[in-house]
Amino acid sequence: MSGRADRQGQQAARWDPRKYLEFASERTRPFVDLLARVPDDAVHTVVDLGCGPGNDVPPLRHRFPDALIRGVDSSPEMIERAWATTEAPGVTFEVGDLLDWQGSADVVVSNATLQWVPGHRAVLPRLAEAATRAFAFQVPGNFNAPSHVLLREIGADFGITAVRPLEVGTAAEYVETLGRPGWHVDGWETTYLHVLRGPDPVFDWVSGTGARPVLAALSDADRPAFVERYKAALREAYPECEIGGRPATLLPFRRIFAVAVRG
């Protein structure tokens, strides 16, 4: 399958901004940690590739109070939501594929998006070149976590084998790719421990992101049985515990970061 066709296949599963934002705080935190490593002086323009439904704007505005911020995302649903929920001056959004994006900015960022772009490592130097100051991104590194292994295994039992597992590199690979003459590069990884509440919270989390392609590929007849089995397997893999005197589920979540700064 070609990169573009594969990309379209993954995107055929539409994003649901409301579902995605159920965990907005947890999903946005790595972006705050990423931006903390990006220089904030002399930054007048910022482009956010895969900007999502607008949750990236507050941390961007906080880090770059005076910059023009432009969000680009291939999902019309996400862009519609971003426009609807953002009133900040100097912020604009557009529907577009980051592979087709040809602009430039002082800072180019991408949070939790490049994992959806097959072969994204090859695109990194071009995205960095588009930045006059810094290029920074974060990708999840949890595709071998029980949540995703179970998704693939149970999906296969329901005949869903064509959904490509998302691929990311290691921090070292990203540092090697971006570490060219004239650039200072920083790479690291972190495992966040999210404290989730309520019934089946891990299912709720993954059904807003990584499980979307499998859920969309299932027939309407098969989906309820799949969901029931997947939820039961997730409850076993991520058992309920008690935190702060209340039931909770701990979700360890590995994420990989890279920042390339000119000069």
Ligand X SMILES: C[S@@+](CC[C@H](N)C(=O)[O-])C[C@H]1O[C@@H](n2cnc3c(N)ncnc32)[C@H](O)[C@@H]1O
List CB contacts of 169: < 8 A, sequence separation 6 or more.
121, 177, 256
74: DSSP letter: S
Residue span binding ligand X (CB under 6 A) among the ranges 35-43, 92-100, 173-181, 182-190:
92-100
Out of 38, 46, 117, 251, the only residue in the binding site for ligand X (CB under 6 A) is 117
Q: Which amino acid is at 65?
A: P
Cβ distance to ligand X smaller for residue 183 or 188: 188
213 binds ligand X (CB under 6 A): no
Cβ distance to ligand X smaller for residue 81 or 133: 81
Question: What sign results for the dihedral spanned by CA atoms 7, 9, 10, 14?
Answer: positive
| DSSP of 87-124 | --TTEEEEE--TTT----EEEEEEES-GGGSTTGGGGH
The count of residues interacting with ligand X (CB under 6 A) is 24
Out of 23, 47, 52, 238, the only residue in the binding site for ligand X (CB under 6 A) is 52
86 binds ligand X (CB under 6 A): no
258 binds ligand X (CB under 6 A): no
209 binds ligand X (CB under 6 A): yes
Out of 45, 64, 75, 257, the only residue in the binding site for ligand X (CB under 6 A) is 75
Give the whole-angstrom CA distance, residue 67 versus residue 20. 26
Cβ distance to ligand X smaller for residue 97 or 222: 97
SS3 53: coil
Out of 74, 86, 147, 177, the only residue in the binding site for ligand X (CB under 6 A) is 74
Give the whole-angstrom CA distance, residue 108 versus residue 102. 12
Helices 223-237/146-157 angle, 10° precision: 150
Q: Which residues bind ligand X (CB under 6 A)?
A: 7, 15, 27-28, 31, 49-52, 55-56, 73-75, 78, 97-99, 111-113, 116-117, 209
